[in-house]
Amino acid sequence: MRLNRILLSTALVVVALVLQVSVFARLHLPGAVPDLLLLVVVALALVYGHTGGALVGFGAGLLADLAPPADHATGRYALVLCVVGYLVGLARPETGRLRSATVPMLVVLGAAVVSTLLYAGVGALVGDTAARHVGLTGLLLTAALYDLLLAPFTVPLIMALARRGENDPLTGEGSAAVAGADGSYGRVSGMSLRGRGKGLGGQRGGLLSRGTTRSAWRKGGKRL
């Protein structure tokens, strides 16, 4: 990943995790908790693609696994968000821009369902039966509902920030454009210099011919 992607992703993940732990986790809502970290991964994966989405998801999930008050096995949420980020990145259009707001909402809905199922499934493998006591159906419904309500206020903004970072003139694309401009400028300058050189050469030729004529006239005068 490029430096601007790493910096932006890190900042967004840290802010989302702080809000997740300090605000959303303390709301005591029925069922699941609004997953702001998941929405960040979804938004960045829709811009960066499946590889960038998987890397961002793994880093965000690992940070959530290590941040207190995490009460689950380390790496569990990293695996979930890594898979979600990869799958969401596959839905990224070739142009990198979505034509309607329906696609992101459907992607958020699918990501909420898949992440809840994966988290519960991995928990069942390591002996965590919390999902059975709460009710998997209730978790799925509330997770999808909370994330869909939160998505319009977060996903478009994060995607806009990511696209702005992609169009930064300090990135590779901007450098290529500048290089192309420099190349064309160099060609124009070279042509101008060549044209000036010809003009200078013509002027020099004219001066030389004039000088030769004068010297010949002087010599002729001497002969005369």
pLDDT in tens, 93-144: 776 566 677 888 999 999 999 999 998 888 778 776 665 666 788 889 999 9
Rounding to the nearest 10 degrees, give the CA dihedral for residues 221, 222, 223, 224: 50
CA–CA dist 139, 147 (Å, integer): 12
CA–CA dist 3, 140 (Å, integer): 36
User: What single-letter DSSP state applies at residue 212?
Assistant: H
DSSP class per residue in 158-169: HHHHHHHHHT-T
pLDDT of residue 133: 62
Confidence of residue 207 (pLDDT cuts 50, 70, 90): very low
Q: Is 148 exposed, middle or buried (0-12, 13-18, 19+ CB in 10 A)?
A: middle
For the chain, the average pLDDT equals 76
pLDDT of residue 113: 93
- Cα 209–chain centre separation: 65
User: How many Å is the Cα radius of gyration of the chain?
Assistant: 32
pLDDT of residue 129: 63
Please write the tens of the pLDDT for every residue from 2-54: 888 899 999 999 999 999 989 988 888 888 889 999 999 999 999 999 999 99
- Inter-residue contact 31 to 138 (CB < 8 Å): yes
